[in-house]
Amino acid sequence: MKAIKLAVILLFNCAGGLLSYQWCYRFIKKQYHTPEYYYLIYYGLCYFCFILISIFILNKIKKPSKLVICGLLIGILISLIFMIIPQLIRYPYLYHRYLINSIGIDFLISSWITLNFIIYPAILLCCHYTIFGIEKIYKKYVFKQ
């Protein structure tokens, strides 16, 4: 059952990440023409964090209203992950050459525009109800045997 829960969490987070990434990249690419791999790094970090947090939250919190509140707060806080990106870049000249710091502000604005703070609570709710439904069907099937 844990493997099914993990698969559901990964599925919904990947779908949400793809939706948010494409929306954000189209919004920013038209204006700033920044390289796509910066967006891949940023959204990879965001949604890796979202997946880890989802696993923890879905095991601890069972009420949908609390999931939405936690998801909203985490969706806003994870948007600030652009502050970590300069430490991940090995060569300082890349940081200054591509102005990653100013791009980070664009990431922050674009992640708020792409509504990560709404997409993530929706992901948590979808995971919660899907896992709940699967558990209900599983229990019904096991008790019939």
pLDDT at 133: 93
Question: Rounded to whole angstroms, how far apart are CA atoms 51 and 99?
Answer: 29
**Cα–Cα dist 41/24, whole Å:** 13
pTM of the model: 0.74
Q: How many structural domains compose the chain?
A: 1
Distance CA 123, CA 54 (A): 9
Range of the domain at 37: 2-144
Between CA 51 and CA 56, with CA 52 as vertex, the angle to 5 degrees is 115
Residue 16 reports pLDDT greater than 90: no
Q: Could you read off the pLDDT of 119-133 as tens digits, one per residue?
A: 888 889 999 999 999
For the four alpha carbons of 127, 75, 46 and 78, in that order, the dihedral sign comes to negative
pLDDT, tens digit (0-9, with 9 covering 90-100), for 69-84:
988 888 777 767 666 6
Pull the structure tokens for residue 127. 């995971």
